[in-house]
Amino acid sequence: MAKIKSAYFCQNCGYESAKWLGKCPSCNEWNTFVEEVIEKPTAANSAVWKTSTGTQRVNKPSKLEEIQSASEDRLPTGDEELDRVLGGGLVPGSVTLIGGEPGIGKSTLMLQLALNIKQKRVLYVSGEESEQQIKMRAERITKTPKADCFILTETSTQNIFKQLEQLEPEVLIIDSIQTLHSAHIESTPGSVSQVRECTAELLRFAKETATPIFLIGHITKDGAIAGPKILEHMVDTVLQFEGDRHHIYRILRSIKNRFGAAAELGIYAMHGNGLREVSNPSEVLLSQRDEELGGITIGATIEGARPMVIETQALVSISAYGTPQRSATGFDTKRMNMLLAVLEKRCGFRLSAKDVFLNIAGGIKVEDPAIDLSIVAAIISSHEDIPVSSKICFAAEVGLSGEIRAVNRVEQRILEAEKLGFEKIFISSYNLKGINKDKFKIELVTVSKIEEVFSALFG
């Protein structure tokens, strides 16, 4: 009788060990090793697929100078937001991993993708829902279902590859990777070894048949994609689907992309009939108010290649418990504390005994330092209870010495503010090099120190 082969895997990072360890030498986490029965694939049970000509593909080494350069033929998905995040469309043979919280809309987004791609045969593999459930959701999305969209409810990768060989789809969607299991690994679905082996099999299929694949992945309570960290290194693109389930807006963010920029952003609105694209996010991220209110300013930011105008809200109040609170939603709390220190040191505002709360409207997270000036103006507006005009926009970084620093791609920010009807925009005086002020209808207010900003706003 053959001896059963087993190994120990770290549930946090996927590190493999021949024996149990208390502390993982890779990620330094304690008590994360679990034993899993493994079986190496043999010629009898290994997954083999053939090309459309019926022959198995064999790769041979080539000289770098002999390889011909060719432009990537991208496949449009029919979704402008998704195309933007992917870098212009689907690349043949690419593997894309989409993660997000339960109920955020990952399956709905992928089903819409399967229904919207034109003249392409799509196979939607689900290991979580029945065919009837998927049919009901498809009827809510569209009244005229696509003729060449196929649904398969299966969790065994060997059975999936048999159907792939017969159907030969041009796009493959897996919902989700944690539900699949391979006969090569004798462990439960969702374990580290199963997720890694199933992804490896699908990755080989994608590269050898030039079929783009979408993988839906669960996330942990910390917000990271469940499974070994190597999963994100194996795939070509990692997308994060974010948002609050109590709000209608969803954000699709690119974390890794081998075929495009890794800082792109797509915005959707969740309705009863599915996700709808938001083509102009600036209008969504600005609240409609009838009167001027203190503590609210507008900043111009850029996510990837897209300029956006967002609303920053600040509340400064007397600390009731002696220890001041510092809270920021959608912005780095450490950077907010730095800006508060600059205001106290350079401008004389006594904020050390005040509670300060900061919020980026619309549920978006911003890391662009160009909204520093907008945040500083909102804090002072709330502290002095003097409203800032809703026709004023800000686009500048604040330094530790109180100087107003230049930001990149300032012309795109100015044009976005001008398009939305703003009358003034505050920028750094160091941003004026190479800019023709006459071509803009909006008034450019240039400042070099933070004191100049407060003089212009509050007198």
Which positions make up the binding site? Answer: 100-107
> Are the C-beta atoms of 229 and 223 separated by less than 8 Å?
no
Residue 115 vs residues 143, 150, 250, 371: alpha-carbon distances, Å: 11, 10, 20, 39
Phi first, then psi: give them for residue 276, nearest 5 degrees: -120, 140
The encoded tokens of residue 237 equal: 């693109």
Looking at residue 94, the DSSP 8-state letter turns out to be: -
End-to-end CA separation in angstroms for the chain? 89
Strand, helix or coil for residue 137: helix
Strand, helix or coil for residue 381: helix
Residue 193 vs residues 22, 185, 230, 231: alpha-carbon distances, Å: 19, 7, 11, 11
Helix (H) or strand (E) holding 138: helix 131-141
Q: How far apart are CA 193 and CA 140, in angstroms?
A: 37
Contact residues for 26 (Cβ-Cβ < 8 A; gap 6+): 10, 13, 15
The encoded tokens of residue 340 equal: 């508060």
Tell which phi-psi region holds residue 413, choosing left (phi > 0), alpha (psi between -120 and 50) or beta: alpha
DSSP assignments along 145-202, one per residue:
--TTEEEEE--BHHHHHHHHHHH--SEEEEE-GGG-B-TTEES-TTSHHHHHHHHHHH
Which positions make up the binding site for ATP?
Answer: 100-107
Question: Tokens 């910390």 label which residue?
Answer: 222
Q: How far apart are CA 24 and CA 161, in angstroms?
A: 35
